[in-house]
Amino acid sequence: MGFAMLGASGQIIVHDIIPTFFSEEQMAGHSASEMESVTSPGEGEATSGRGDLFASAPLDEKVAEPFYKTEQFVWTLRWTHIHLFGMSMIFIFMGAITLCLDLTAKTRAWLIVLPFVGVLVDIASVWLKGYISPAFFWLHIPGGALFGAIFIYVSLRALWEMWRLGSAA
């Protein structure tokens, strides 16, 4: 699980944090130490190519190219496929751990299924936010809370069963 979390953290840094806060124009020709002094979003820099929550395109703008070649679609697809596969792999491993917990079959089934529901809600919020309304950003909270809470519960429950119950036997 530790390796899965380190891999997910690496993906978050490389594919989310850096592209969100640093556009390609800002990073061109800068060393890593200079990147700390780059202007923050909203200080006059253009936000094209960033694909973050704070960048917005006018709704009345006509797009000449097919929607699947637009910058919004490519960024959304790249972001969601990385998270869909990365987070699903983490919860596949968590499901294997959950199967070994001393719980009822129904409880284990819910603990295995619900993180995937949270991932789907989280991924859907990105698409809905991009193509329906920015208000769908708030779906990140229940989606992330669902898989985050279950991740914490299963992790702590597994450690408790190994250490607390294991020493009583």
Per-residue pLDDT in tens (0 to 9) along the chain, 169 residues: 566 667 667 766 776 667 666 665 555 554 444 444 444 444 444 444 444 444 555 555 555 778 777 888 888 888 787 788 888 888 999 999 999 999 999 999 999 999 999 999 999 998 998 888 888 888 889 999 999 999 999 999 999 999 886 665 5
In this structure, the answer to whether residues 47 and 73 fall within a common structural domain is no
In this structure, the answer to whether residues 22 and 98 fall within a common structural domain is no
The residue assigned the tokens 């959950």 is: 98
In this structure, the answer to whether residues 94 and 166 fall within a common structural domain is yes
In this structure, the answer to whether residues 43 and 70 fall within a common structural domain is no
In this structure, the answer to whether residues 47 and 123 fall within a common structural domain is no
In this structure, the answer to whether residues 165 and 95 fall within a common structural domain is yes
CA atoms within 13 A on the CB side of 145: 5
CA torsion 78-39-47-143 (nearest 10°) is 40
In this structure, the answer to whether residues 50 and 72 fall within a common structural domain is no
Residue 47 tokens, joined: 């936000």
- Classify each residue of 112-123 as buried b or exposed e, where b means 16 or more C-beta atoms within 10 Å of its C-beta: beebbebbbbbb
- Classify each residue of 4-23 as buried b or exposed e, where b means 16 or more C-beta atoms within 10 Å of its C-beta: beeebeeeeeeeeeebbbbb
In this structure, the answer to whether residues 20 and 101 fall within a common structural domain is no
Please report the pLDDT score of residue 105 as a whole number.
Answer: 96
Query: Whole-model pTM?
Result: 0.59
Please report the pLDDT score of residue 61 as a whole number.
Answer: 58
**CA distance to 13, 46, 96, 128, per residue, from 40 (Å):** 17, 11, 42, 26
Please report the pLDDT score of residue 117 as a whole number.
Answer: 95
Q: Domain end: 55, 71, 96, which one?
A: 55
In this structure, the answer to whether residues 76 and 16 fall within a common structural domain is no
In this structure, the answer to whether residues 81 and 96 fall within a common structural domain is yes
In this structure, the answer to whether residues 89 and 143 fall within a common structural domain is yes
The residue assigned the tokens 């009583």 is: 168
The 3-state DSSP class for residue 85 equals helix
The H or E element that residue 143 is part of is: helix 140-160
Please report the pLDDT score of residue 103 as a whole number.
Answer: 95
Q: How many domains does the chain have?
A: 2
Please report the pLDDT score of residue 119 as a whole number.
Answer: 92
In this structure, the answer to whether residues 45 and 97 fall within a common structural domain is no
Q: For residue 75, what are the domain limits?
A: 57-169
